């Protein structure tokens, strides 16, 4: 199958536009969620098991809990805002 003739016509949002700022804010919030998740993983490493066994479900539950907690708190620690302002000043183009 030859795909050389396929053209991709999706506009790349730029900083300063409403769409571009929304995309950048979303990406910086996602980055902050990753940082928060890493901090939570390290801070809760020695946490006791919920079910008093080494059940794999316990580890999965804790991981999912920390991931949701980090996603819910994304944008609230200031990393996202600081990164957003820095990238906005640089005029970085965002892409998908």
Residue 4 within any structural domain of the chain: no
Q: Is residue 52 part of a domain?
A: yes
The reply to whether 46 falls in a domain is: yes
Q: 13 falls in which pLDDT band (50, 70, 90)? A: very low
Distances in Å between the alpha carbon of 60 and those of 8, 32, 36, 48, 65? Answer: 39, 22, 18, 14, 8
Does residue 52 or residue 10 have the better pLDDT?
52
Please indicate, yes or no, if residue 3 is contained in any of the structural domains.
no
Q: How confident is the model at residue 60 (pLDDT cuts 50, 70, 90)?
A: confident
Rounded distance between C-alpha atoms, residue 69 and residue 25, angstroms = 19
Structural domain that includes position 82:
18-90
In the structure, what pLDDT confidence band is assigned to residue 12 with cuts at 50, 70 and 90?
very low
Of 13-22, 27-36, 46-55, 69-78, the range with the highest mean pLDDT is: 27-36
- 43 domain-assigned: yes
Rounded to two decimals, what is the model's pTM? 0.63
Count up the domains in the chain and report the number.
1
Closest CA to 55 of 68, 63, 67: 63
Q: Which residues are CB-contacts of 21 (< 8 A; sequence separation ≥ 6)?
A: 15, 88
């Amino acid at each position: 199958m030859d795909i050389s003739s396929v053209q991709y016509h999706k506009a790349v949002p730029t900083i300063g536009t409403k769409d571009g700022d929304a995309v950048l804010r979303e990406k910086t919030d996602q980055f902050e969620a990753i940082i928060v998740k890493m901090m939570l993983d390290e801070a809760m490493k020695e946490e006791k098991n919920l079910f008093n066994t080494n059940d794999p479900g316990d580890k999965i539950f804790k991981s999912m809990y920390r991931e949701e907690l980090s996603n819910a708190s994304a944008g609230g620690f200031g990393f996202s805002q600081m990164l957003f302002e820095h990238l906005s000043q640089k005029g970085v183009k965002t892409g998908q």
